[in-house]
Amino acid sequence: MAPPFTLSKDKIELQFATNHLGHFLLTELLLETMKRTSREQNKEGRIVNVSSEAHRFAYKGIFFDQLNDESSYNPIYAYGQSKLANILHAKELTKHFKENGVNLTANALHPGSIQTNLLRYHNIINGVVDWVGKYFLKNIPQGAATTCYVALHPQVEGVSGEYFMDSNIAQPNSYAKNAGLAKELWDISLTMVAPYH
């Protein structure tokens, strides 16, 4: 979360590479197995993307033409952009599943503000969070609750393309609902992971 500008070994801005492309590629690599297993077991498969309320702090949408541009890099906006991508990915997966009659769902969620070392690149903020966080932040099990709910709870059966917070459907920002942006992200992500697919 919000590190100084860094490129991955594949020369992609680290937060976008880690928080979105890594998940995107893993999903692509597992998708055929998930489809086959769902069909053979006659059970719904679920894909859960851990996003964040920080998606609201993304640049204006996703800056595809500036993904790896250090001069326009803002650590918080870039983190938000990667988390917006998680929501858009779930939306576009849902579209593909519906078009192909696949018994899989894809949703995104905000786990909550959790007392972890996620802010390690921001010493002052991290210090304050460590000091007072125990009074208002979720602990690890509380932070995992929404992820477990979306992945396992019967009430979420058949629900796809949604954004959850505190084990309830929540409303993401308008960029996260943009079908054109989701499709563009999908196409660009496929191109970026093609060497590994």
What distance in Å separates the CA atoms of residue 92 and residue 72, rounded to the nearest whole number? 27
Q: Is 175 a catalytic residue?
A: no
Question: Among 129, 128, 124, 125, which Cα is nearest to 113's?
Answer: 129
- Contact indicator for 69, 43 with CB cutoff of 8 Å: no
Select which of 59, 73, 79, 196 is catalytic. Answer: 73
- Contact indicator for 102, 51 with CB cutoff of 8 Å: no
What distance in Å separates the CA atoms of residue 181 and residue 166, rounded to the nearest whole number? 26
What does the radius of gyration of the chain's CA atoms come to, in whole angstroms? Answer: 17
Sorted by sequence, the CB contacts under 8 Å of residue 15 that are 6+ apart come out as 1, 2, 3, 75, 78, 79, 81, 82
Pairing of strands 168-170, 163-165: antiparallel
Q: Give the active site residues.
A: 73
